[in-house]
Amino acid sequence: TIIAGLKTPAAAKFGLDGKLYVVTAGDGVLLQVDVKKKTSRKVVQLKSGLDNLLPLHADTMLVASLTDNSIVA
């Protein structure tokens, strides 16, 4: 187990910076996960219902929301 206790994890992808990012649908959080240390930090708090993410640039992530029918950067 890399990270536990997430509220409905919906997607996990490696960013262009090589770091793992996770979105949680239950509470609308984008997390950056340190795989080696098995820790996470909140990148941004959005509305609940997140369901996917896409690394766009080294410092930009597109995040899709199922409940809002929107994509934010």
* Contact between 46 and 16 (Cβ < 8 Å): no
pLDDT band at residue 46 under the 50/70/90 scheme: very high
- 40 pLDDT higher than 90: yes
What is this structure's pTM?
0.91
**How far, rounded to the nearest angstrom, does the alpha carbon of residue 26 sit from its chain's CA centroid?**
12
Looking at residue 5, its pLDDT comes to 93
Q: Sorting pLDDT into bands at 50, 70 and 90, what band is 39?
A: very high
Encode pLDDT of 11-35 as tens digits.
999 999 889 999 999 999 999 999 9
Amino acid at 56: L
Contact (Cβ atoms closer than 8 angstroms) between residue 18 and residue 26: no
